Amino acid sequence: MRFAFPLMLVLVAVVPVAGLWWTFLRARREKALSKITLNVPKSHGSSLQSAAILSGLFLVLFAASRPQWGKSLETTVSRSRNVVVAIDVSRSMLAEDVRPNRLERAKADVADLIDSLEGDRCALVAFRRTGVVVCPLTTDHGYLRSALEQISPETAPRGETDLGSAIHAALDALDPAADDHNAIIVISDGGDLRGEALKTAELAKKRGVPVFTVGIGDPKVGSTIPAENGVGVQMHNGSPVKVALEEQALKAIAEASSGRYVPLATAGTAETTLGAIYRRFLRLVAAKEQSEEEARAADRYQVFLVPGLCLLMIGAALSKGRFRKSSQSRNMV
């Protein structure tokens, strides 16, 4: 046996103590009366009433602690969507035109999105040359956050940025049987150098999965990126390498898949966080009704509550009967 509210057992333990104290006080009172008069009536009705009330209180408070034993199957029905978030982890995402850098800003916004998921399932994909699933579809927000924190440029294989591979990996993480409840979010600074993204976006459209692309960075002014050894900035032919947000590929992917392109502002606002984007656009994706059966400990409080209430009613009835009897006696006098 287990209890849902074990602290209530403290009150349960108080009831017999209170009953013993009441019995002691009543016995002392009757003893004191016996010294004054020789004819002290026996209070059998009062004893029965006290026993009924104390027993009733004991059972009701015990029921309030919600005793549980055995198992019961509970079916819950929920409406959910499946969302895969693909994050670009190429070195260009280390540019600091957004603070602290593009990758960390993307991760912070994904954390905001996780807060907006409610019952929806989410998966995470990191991509550079290829896409890697770092967290499968789940509703476990703690697990999602843990996987998100571990994402870095070393999470995916090095190479030229391939947005098409990211979309492929995201599609593989989704259940094709529920494609009308699925969506993909791709967060990147653009620069698809392998050219397969449009074909993959068209494949997503055939499956009915919209791809929402999110551009991060400044599209007008290029930004330097840290050198691979961590000292200074990356150089090429004696000049610093500068990368700007390339929106064209991201816009084309969104259009080809019936999704939407959304640029994130360089200085984050409440309207341009991924949580806001999710609430504004992805909520339009149809939700799937799903039912789950879960075995839970069965509540058995009714076994104690019903007899407890009956005993309290009996105690109240006995009190009413004595009051009527004493009233009649006073009228006769």
- DSSP alpha helices (H): ranges in 37-152? 44-64, 102-115, 141-149
Q: Are 287 and 307 part of one and the same domain?
A: no
pLDDT the model gives residue 284:
61
Q: Is residue 227 part of a domain?
A: no
Contact 258, 205 (CB under 8 A): yes
- Domain check: are 115 and 35 in the same one? no
More confident residue, 327 or 37: 37
Describe the strand order of the beta sheet including 260-263 as a list of residue ranges: 131-138, 121-127, 82-88, 182-188, 211-215, 260-263
Whether residue 55 sits in one domain with residue 113: no
Same domain, 36 and 110: no
Provide the pLDDT for residue 319: 67
pLDDT in tens, 218-241: 888 888 888 877 778 888 788 888
Same domain, 310 and 203: no
**Domain span including residue 44:** 2-66+301-332
- Model pLDDT, residue 309: 87
Q: What is the CB neighbour count within 10 angstroms for residue 294?
A: 10
In a domain, 169, yes or no: yes
98 plus 163 within the same structural domain: yes
Please indicate, yes or no, if residue 322 is contained in any of the structural domains.
Answer: yes
Domain membership flag for residue 72: no
What pLDDT is attached to residue 73? Answer: 60
**Is residue 230 in some structural domain?**
no
State the CATH number of the domain containing residue 258: 3.40.50.410
Q: Find out whether 78 and 119 touch, Cβ atoms under 8 Å.
A: yes
Q: What are phi and psi of 117, to 5 degrees?
A: -70, -35
Please check whether residues 314 and 185 belong to one and the same domain. no
d(CA 193, CA 161): 6
Q: Are residues 193 and 268 in the same domain?
A: yes
Specify if 160 maps to a domain: yes
- The residue among 258, 273, 291 that closes a domain is 291
Residue 83: CB atoms within 10 Å:
23
- Do residue 118 and residue 257 come from a single domain? yes
User: Do 164 and 287 sit in the same domain of this protein?
Assistant: yes
Task: Report the domain count for the chain.
Answer: 2
pLDDT digits (tens, 9 = 90+) for 265-310: 544 444 556 777 777 766 666 554 444 445 567 788 888 888 888 8
% residues pLDDT > 70 (the chain): 80
Tokens 């993204």 found at: 197
Q: How many of the other CB atoms lie within 10 Å of CB of 180?
A: 13
* pLDDT score recorded for residue 213: 92
- pLDDT tens string 250-260: 999 999 998 88
| Residue 174 within any structural domain of the chain | yes
Minimal CA–CA distance to 170: which of 203, 214, 215, 216? Answer: 203
Banded pLDDT at 326 (limits 50, 70, 90): very low
- Is the domain of 214 the same as that of 284? yes
The answer to whether position 283 is within a domain reads yes
Give 105's Cβ-side CA count (13 Å radius). Answer: 27
